[in-house]
Amino acid sequence: MPGAEGERTGGIVLAAGSSTRMGRNKMLLELDGEPLVRRAVNMAAAAGLTPVICVVGFEADRVRDALDGAPCQVVVNPDYMGPSSRSFHAGLRALPADVGTAVVILPDMVHVTADMVRALVASSAATAAPLVVSRYGEITAPPILFRRSLFPELIAWEGEGCGKPVVKAHAHEAVQLDWPERMLHDLDRPEDLERLQAVPE
């Protein structure tokens, strides 16, 4: 029965990376008048995710300051230079036992909206599928919702990304939600931010 594993859907916002290609901490770049990390946390909360776990690492104190008063629990990954899976693991382990599903969110995917996250949660509530994925054309990317039954597999996995091997292993069971390909664009380099700021939404 959907929802039997827990009463809540939590959020995991991954904000620990060192932003090497950007040349500065992109979690602190401002869009719509607030840092990307705070914007993502607020979006997750607006979508009804509770709790929202924000995993930080690079310049942890600065990112924590940017989150002052935001609706989230901050978790530090001291090994942020290692595989990004370790940040994901830290977020999963911080979720309370009554959280039955979790949505992973990347702050630099700035086109993701609260409505998209709500759609994942609604789809999960209507099915027993172990995961609900976002698909942009042929590409699967966050936000992705995982049911607690997959948490052990996610924690056993080491690597980059948001559990791609686990997603691939369970692709035949997944619910897929399709979004316009333009929603996939993220901020990796300075020119990405310049392009976004130059083009009105």
Residue-wise pLDDT tens digits, 13-68 = 999 987 666 667 889 988 888 999 999 999 999 999 999 999 999 999 999 999 99
Task: Kindly report the pTM of this predicted structure.
Answer: 0.91
Per the CB < 8 A criterion, the answer to whether 10 and 103 are in contact is: yes
Tell me the C-alpha distance between 163 and 165, whole Å. Answer: 6
Instruction: Answer whether residue 150 is part of any domain.
Output: yes
> Strands (DSSP E) along 113-157, which ranges?
131-136, 139-147
| pLDDT at residue 161, rounded to an integer | 82
Q: List all residues 6 or more positions away from 56 whose beta carbon is below 8 Å from its beta carbon.
A: 15, 16, 27, 37, 63, 64, 67, 74, 75, 76, 77, 80
| pLDDT at residue 193, rounded to an integer | 63
Instruction: Answer whether residue 3 is part of any domain.
Output: no
Instruction: Answer whether residue 96 is part of any domain.
Output: yes
Q: C-alpha dihedral over 120, 193, 86, 115, to 10 degrees?
A: -10
Strands 175-179 and 131-136: parallel
Exposure class string for 135-147: b at 16+ Cβ within 10 A, else e: ebeeebbbbbbbb
| pLDDT at residue 132, rounded to an integer | 98
Instruction: Answer whether residue 1 is part of any domain.
Output: no
Instruction: Answer whether residue 2 is part of any domain.
Output: no
| pLDDT at residue 107, rounded to an integer | 94
- Amino acid letter, 188: D
Low-confidence stretches of the chain (pLDDT < 70) are 1-6, 19-23, 187-201
Q: 62-69: long-range contacts at Cβ-Cβ below 8 A with a sequence spacing of 24 or more?
A: 62/25, 62/28, 63/15, 63/25, 63/27, 63/28, 63/37, 66/27, 66/28, 66/35, 66/37, 66/38, 67/37, 67/38, 67/41
Instruction: Answer whether residue 59 is part of any domain.
Output: yes
Instruction: Answer whether residue 177 is part of any domain.
Output: yes
| pLDDT at residue 4, rounded to an integer | 43
| pLDDT at residue 20, rounded to an integer | 65
Task: Provide the number of structural domains found in the chain.
Answer: 1
| pLDDT at residue 22, rounded to an integer | 60
| pLDDT at residue 2, rounded to an integer | 37
CATH number of the domain that residue 171 is part of: 3.90.550.10
Hey, CA dihedral for 86, 187, 11, 147, is it positive or negative? negative
Instruction: Answer whether residue 126 is part of any domain.
Output: yes
Domain of residue 33, residue span: 8-198
